[in-house]
Chains A and B, each alone.
Chain A
Amino acid sequence: MKELRIVGQRELRTDALAKATGRARYTADMKQPGMLIGKALFAAYPHALIKKIDVSEALLLPGVATVMTARDLPGRNGYGVMIQDKPVIVEDKTHYSGDAVALVAAVSEEIAREALKRVKVDYDPLPAYDDPREAMKEGAIPIHANHPVAENGNILVTLNLDRGDVDKAFAEADIIIENDYETPMVEHCYLEPDACIAEPDPLTGGLTIISPAQAIYANRRSLAGVFGIPQNRLRVVSPLVGGGFGGKEDSCLDVSAMAGVLALRCDRPVYLELTREEVFRVTGKRHATYIKHRMAATKEGKILAVDVRTILNKGAYVSMGGMKEPLHAVTMRTLVYAAGTYHVPHARARSYSVFTNTPYSCAFRGFGVPQATFAVECQIEELARRVGADSLSIRRLNMLRHNDLTITGQVMLESRGLGLGQCIDKVAERFDWDRPLPQPPGPIKKGRGFAVYMYGSGIPLLFEGANCFAHLQLDGTLSLGVSTTEMGQGFLTVAAQVAAETLGIRVADVLVEFSDTAKTPDSGPTVGSRSAVMVGNAIFDACSKLRERMLTVASRYLFSKTDPRDLAIQDGVVSVIGKPEVTQPLAVVAARAYAAQVSLAVVGSWYPPQASFSALDGQGNPCHAYAFGAQAVEVDVDTETGVITVNRSVHACDVGKALNPLNVEGQMEGGAAQGLGWAVMEENIMEGGILRNAAFHNYMIPTIRDVPDLESIIVECPNELGPYGAKGVGEPALIGMAPAIRNALYDALGFAINTIPLTARQVLQSIREHEQRR
């Protein structure tokens, strides 16, 4: 391969200046005077029958344009990323406290609020479920009377994975480790609250919705029916997004559905923004999980089998996927990753996704892999202790290698990048893992913990593949069009780098139009750590085609029929290889192509090898390539107060190829910090379907003082199918932190705690209980 000049460089973000100076525009900046203000009345009871709604008093209030109940909707009263099970306005029953019971549009926010107070609703409250283990019991009240895809009562779906002879393996094992793990429901905590501008379009008879969204085409597909218009007349635009982390794949539907039906009813633009408390109340969360993990091994520490049961809190609605076909994306991953990064010949896994009356659980950085990996990486720590070996040697002993089969039966291939061993070695070296850690006198105990992970790029079987537009201009600049969202991950910059490298122009000469259905084709959603790989490949495809056309034109008309293979394009200049003095600007070539009736516009596309996965036995090839990583931490635990301090973090990630190392490090640091929050302090506390900490003063996320200097090591084991070898990095970066911290705490205290978050209160209580047991 030729030497790379732009890909792999620490290119500064193309959007950095506008953002750093506060001039970049987000949805809320586009609110205009004269727009009606939309607001929702949310359910007073998370689980209740609605006996009567009276809006007459609210309608009388001057300044109120409309008050809507479920009877006033223009189309289908249901939406969702895959299954249309979430009502825009609930009609006869509430399923969680974020259900809208009535909507209002008014000339001001004050009037809209006042109008909501005048809506009278009679409820008949029912017991509310917070815990899926309760909701799945026989005799539990069904949360959905007639759910379109639920399997059985409150159980949305059960997925199975079966490989080999698990019972025999357990019977023959020297060591069996069995533990229960719990991980909490948590909030995405994106900085930008959800908002939407919905504007009827008199020209098309359709509607435009402008909202921070991670998946504009999924929005179009989900919402056109809600608005009662064809998909092509629903224009969906996502301006810059102030953080998403998976949440804005769904939450944009919530605000867009509400703003859209109000705008259509009033035939006026409507602006609807959730307050932060409403974001907590209404929008999706990370699935809480309850995992029973059994592991069988030889006395040398070779894993023979795993047997895993996972119960996921689905919350009130389906969100991602929903059943066996299409697959439930998060539930599926709890099976696929039930044995982590290890070669395990026998496996059985059962995952149950169960409805409760909490906010719906949705995509959240890692899609269920962090939960599954937490359990496995705690188990491997236990295994190492039982064997009496260092946990790294047990990890190396069991890790997936070339030609090994995963528990889904997928063959691991060196050619797709298998960097786990390198990640472990590099972290161990930088961390000085073999150095003994002396315990200081006094109440502070020190501990070190390790964890490894893998994560498949993309979201197989749901929305794979990508398209883009590329249009070369006559001045030699390039317009790209991708539906991918820019939510802080830096894709606009990486897209420009891939395009510039491939076509042979400067990054500054690429403009990336993004996430607008009127300007860009479907590049797939901006989720699943897929964009750099999938959309990157589509851009590579488009720019390769353009390059070929330009070289053909240059050869024929401007370089005396020199073989195009002997021509190069670099920095927007075409030249003969080996003769740098013979040049033509690309603009001249483009103009010549234009005159010669050669198209300057192309659609680039890329689809990975068809994924497979059977919901019956969990076998198949879910992802074409996997990122790998290793995370080590050192913690202090204050045994008198329970306070944990993470002092050091060394993290390596095999990303195939770092298209922009600055971006990769940003993702690695951000993921590690977010993972730290999940491990030690974050939790949505539910009581009877009511969220008790729905604000940033009582829902804690880490500040910079809670996070140590995060050391990041980039490992590059190229993926033959990725653009320039890339694999995804966005989500993997979060996964290792929680098990590493838990394992470090184990090291410090000498006993294990298997439930996160590891708050001071929880840690101190565990210490006391442990002391009493002794």
Chain B
Amino acid sequence: MTAQTFYNPGTISEILDLLDEYKEEAVIVNGGTDIVEQIGSGRIRPKAILYIRNAGELDYIREENGAVLIGGITSYRSMLESPLCRQFGGLRQALTEIGSPPIRVVATPAGNIGTSASGADCNTALLALGASVVLSSKTGERILTLEDLFSNPGKTGLHRNELIRQIRIPINKAARSSFIKLAKRKAQDIAQVSACVCVEAEGGICQKVTVSLGAVAPRTIRAKSLEEKIVHRTLAEAVAAVKGIIPAEASLRNPKNRPYKEAVIGVIVGRALKQAYADGVGRT
């Protein structure tokens, strides 16, 4: 460890004070599964470490005004055990794919959003579900959709004095979602490609759809080019339409894995769609 000071704030206001004081020289450690490795290897050398896991007021999952609210230190394990979270099919599937049971005890969705890891399973699911984050700083609060947060980090991203206080997932009873991940092995692995689709359908025709993709660009992306091929079509038409398609939003630079990823994106989006339909989308 190379940081100079370790803080263990117990409240949101303490965290915000410290963030205000250190700004970019502080690093928030939540679950620590990503960041501690970076600190330990010397890749980042913060002046201060803010270990926020003892700020108990940030640990909750509750429903309010048609949305599920998840606190900034809530773990994946808590989410996996929560019926509120499990109602979202795609999220439930993504949660079971994250790391291993011990990792899920410490790792947090806010942490993965904070580091914007492109292959993070939960980021992919939350993006498709239209989730947003509440960002707090000493000077106030703002709400940002994950789509905005991920699509233009330089402009709309997290400021260094901000804390991800809360994640909000809107509840849409008419929608069904599904998540699929391809990895090099069947557990404890980063996605080669992951996809989450969230669909509303009527009479077998897709009325609305959101498609998110992980590990095909530096950040998790929303693939509107694929959504256009799905909406207003039947399931079979949509699956056929996305097969073999490389979405314009993808940005694959590594020539070694690019052909493989490009070959499977359409396949797994199609399969996620089928799963979402099988889960009951469009049923009355």
Contact = CB atoms under 8 A, between A and B. Distances in A.
A643 B257 contact: no
Interface string A741-774: 0000000000000000001110011001000000
A764 B259 CA distance: 10
Contacts of B268: 641
Nearest to A702: B185
Contacts of B188: 703
A761 B182 contact: no
A760 B260 contact: yes
B267 A703 contact: no
Interface in B167-199: 182, 184-190, 192
A640 B274 CA distance: 15
B264 interface: yes
Contact of B264 (A641, A681, A706, A759): A641
Given A641-B264, A760-B192, A765 B259 contact: yes
Given A703-B187, A703-B188, A764 B182 contact: no
A764 B189 contact: no
A700 interface: yes
A765 B259 CA distance: 9
A22 to B, nearest CB: 15
Contact of B185 (A642, A703, A765, A768): A703
A700 B189 contact: yes
Given A641-B264, A768-B263, A760 B186 contact: no
User: Which among A642, A702, A761 has the highest number of chain B CB atoms within 10 Å?
Assistant: A761
B264 A700 contact: no
Contact of A640 (B185, B257, B267): B267
Contact of A706 (B187, B259, B260): B187
A759 B186 contact: no
A334 to B, nearest CB: 29
Nearest to B186: A705
Interface string A690-726: 0000000100101111100000000000000000000
A36 B237 CA distance: 69
A283 to B, nearest CB: 20
Nearest to A697: B190
A535 to B, nearest CB: 36
Contacts of A761: 257, 260
Contacts of A704: 187
Contacts of A760: 182, 184, 192, 260
A764 B262 CA distance: 12
A257 B188 CA distance: 36
A316 B118 CA distance: 38
B187 A705 contact: yes
Contacts of B186: 645, 703, 705-706
Nearest to B260: A761
B165 to A, nearest CB: 30
Nearest to A277: B41
Contacts of A643: 182
A641 B263 CA distance: 8
Contacts of B189: 700
A702 B257 CA distance: 21
A765 B260 contact: yes
A697 B184 CA distance: 11
B264 A640 contact: yes
Contacts of B267: 640-641
A34 B181 CA distance: 49
A642 B268 CA distance: 12
A705 B184 CA distance: 12
Interface string A675-693: 0000001000000000000
Contact of A641 (B182, B187, B257): B182
A681 B185 contact: yes
Contacts of A759: 184
Contacts of B192: 760
Interface in B248-265: 257, 259-260, 263-264
A681 B264 CA distance: 18
Contacts of B257: 761
A213 B6 CA distance: 39
B109 to A, nearest CB: 20
A768 B259 CA distance: 11
A311 B247 CA distance: 43
Interface string B186-214: 11111010000000000000000000000
Nearest to B268: A641
The winner among B182, B257, B264 for most chain A CB atoms within 10 A is: B264
Nearest to B264: A641
B200 to A, nearest CB: 26
A411 to B, nearest CB: 45
Contacts of A768: 263
B104 to A, nearest CB: 15
Nearest to B2: A110
A641 B190 CA distance: 16
A718 B93 CA distance: 51
Interface string B40-69: 000000000000000000000000000000
Contacts of B264: 640-641, 764
Contacts of A645: 186
B121 to A, nearest CB: 15
A761 B264 CA distance: 10
Interface string A8-24: 00000000000000000
A657 B257 CA distance: 48
A136 B189 CA distance: 37
Contacts of B182: 641, 643, 760
A681 B187 contact: no
Interface in B91-114: none
A759 B192 CA distance: 12
Given A641-B267, A641-B268, A760-B192, A700 B184 contact: yes
A639 to B, nearest CB: 10
Q: Count chain B CB atoms within 10 A of each CB in A640, A642, A702 and give the residue with the most.
A: A640
A192 B167 CA distance: 40
B129 to A, nearest CB: 24
Interface in B113-159: none
A639 B112 CA distance: 32
A765 B257 CA distance: 11
A640 B180 CA distance: 14
11 contacts: A641-B264, A642-B260, A702-B185, A703-B186, A703-B187, A705-B185, A705-B186, A705-B187, A706-B185, A760-B192, A764-B264
Interface of A: 640-643, 645, 681, 697, 700, 702-706, 759-761, 764-765, 768
Leading 7 A-B pairs by shortest Cβ distance = A705-B186, A705-B187, A703-B187, A761-B260, A640-B267, A700-B184, A706-B186
